[in-house]
Amino acid sequence: MLTDFAGRTAVITGAGSGFGLEVARIAMQRGMNLVLVDVQADALERTRAEAEAAGVAVLARRVDVADVAQMEALAEAVQVRFGAPHFVFNNAGVAAGGLVWENTVADWQWVLGVNLWGVIHGVRLFVPRMLAAAQADPAWRGHVVNTASMAGLLTPPNMGVYNVSKHAVVALTETLYQDLRLVTDQIGASVLCPYFVPTGIARSERNRPAALAAGAATRSQLIGQAMSEKAVSSGKVTAAEVAQKVFEAVEQDRFYVYSHPHALAAVAQRLQAIVEGRNPPDPFAERPEVGAQLRAALRSGG
């Protein structure tokens, strides 16, 4: 397991804000070389300046993680500058809501491009380099952390595109864990499943590419956006606290990382329904007033 961080290299996507920024700050404190990746230039520049002020070696790249050519160029630049990274945090993410049949092709391409393909590219480009480093040095250790969500373990309504992307990340990362166990004991894997934490994801439309621009918002999408902003902004657990949990998981070689363990009760109910062949449980069982409000809003004619 990876426990010695000083002088090691960390690749962090979505490093300009939220979990990525806070993970980068802990990595700075631990004396790691930092590869900072974000699509938002001004946010990336602020993180780069903070890292350089902390005295660590930095490679900052503006990259759209959904773009295969940009990610391949990033991986090559990391290899040239630092060699194989020891810690890869595939974290960049965006969100879109609404009733699942109302999402456009552009919605699907944007969300899956960042949330899923960004992780796929991070795994396929960096893990082979990490394996080569491990094979060359029996003392070499590495770890990959992919950011999913509690929406990767649950299926809350009115946010289907996001759910699909995050369920895929959970499945990918669980498989990565098993595949790595087949070939090495030197590289670990974890999946981060945060619940509602104040980050910039509720405003991720700010970085949506023009080629995948959103159409006119439907009522369900407007409602979903408002509910998401309210839930995220009211979160009591901070991104910095979640980043600390990420490093603890890496040090302990622990796979599942949760920001809100109490939310696992709903996961257990879902899994029990699957095992027993029952219909999916009511997602609003603990807060029926929320379900009532959402149904009334979506069924009203106004």
| CA–CA gap between residue 140 and residue 86 (Å, rounded) | 8
Copy the structure tokens of residue 59: 């490679």
User: Quick one: residue 111, left, alpha or beta (phi over 0 = left, psi -120 to 50 = alpha)?
Assistant: alpha
Q: What are phi and psi of 188, to 5 degrees?
A: -105, 175
The count of other CB atoms within 10 Å of the CB of residue 145 is 26
Does residue 162 carry a catalytic annotation?
yes
Contact of 206 with 199, CB cutoff 8 Å? no
| Residue from 162, 177, 195, 256 carrying the catalytic annotation | 162
Three-state DSSP state, 54: coil
The two three-digit tokens of residue 152, written as one number? 């990767």
Q: Which two tokens stand for residue 72?
A: 């391949």
Distance CA 35, CA 27 (A): 10
Contact 282/291 with Cβ under 8 angstroms?
Answer: yes
Catalytic residues: 162
